[in-house]
Amino acid sequence: MRPGSDGRWRCPWPYSGGADYLDYHDAEWGEPVRTESGLFERLSLEAFQSGLSWLTILRKRPGFRAAFAGFDPDQVAVFGDEDVQRLLGETSIVRNRRKILATVTNARATVALRQGGGLVSLFWSVVPEDRPRPRTMAQVPAHTSQSAELAAALKRAGFAHVGPTTIYAAMQACGVVDDHLQGCFRAERSRVP
């Protein structure tokens, strides 16, 4: 832990990516997301991040939003072969066929899941019990029993590219778990509802 130039103490990871990372940490990471499109976006971006730097995805997020219709599941669910080909040529996103197809598959699964309670209900069904706030990054897990449970439930619902590690990262990003380190200024104001 160390203070930034503004005097605020933060988790160590946002210092490696400049203002983009600091802004993401300070304003977004760990904030509860309770909308279908918001969760669909985070799941999609976490899947695209697999094997890459999160900073790469964060900087390409405007391109992803434009390419995937603002992550509106209804619009992405009707993407066909022509859309996939278009996306494979889109330089503003990560052009990976498997991840593009997974995003379309997940949009369709999101729409279908509405009949069973919806993505928001499923995602927030795995909030872990209170646990001690981590003091170091070494104490932050890569995955948990809850992320494995949610990954399995998503796979049963037809989602793709949703392993326990990817899902845990999404749970962190969406505020289902709060992994701001003890002493981080965000830990003082972030609480899982």
Query: Domain coordinates of the chain in residue numbers?
Result: 37-173
Tallying the residues shown for the chain, one arrives at: 193
Percentage of the chain modeled with pLDDT above 90:
84
Predicted pLDDT at 1: 78
Predicted pLDDT at 193: 43
Active site residue 15: no
* Catalytic, out of 24, 28, 31, 149: 24
Q: What is the pLDDT of residues 20-55, one digit of tens each?
A: 899 999 999 999 999 999 999 999 999 999 989 999
* Catalytic, out of 21, 36, 41, 54: 54
Predicted pLDDT at 4: 85
Q: What is the pLDDT of residues 113-130, one digit of tens each?
A: 999 889 999 999 999 888
Chain-centre distance for alpha carbon 42: 3
CATH match for 37-173 among 3.40.50.150, 3.40.50.620, 3.20.20.70, 1.10.340.30: 1.10.340.30
Strands (E) across 77-126 are located at none
Active site residue 46: yes
Overall pTM surpassing 0.85 (yes/no): yes
Predicted pLDDT at 188: 67
Please count the other Cβ atoms lying within 10 Å of the Cβ belonging to residue 56.
12
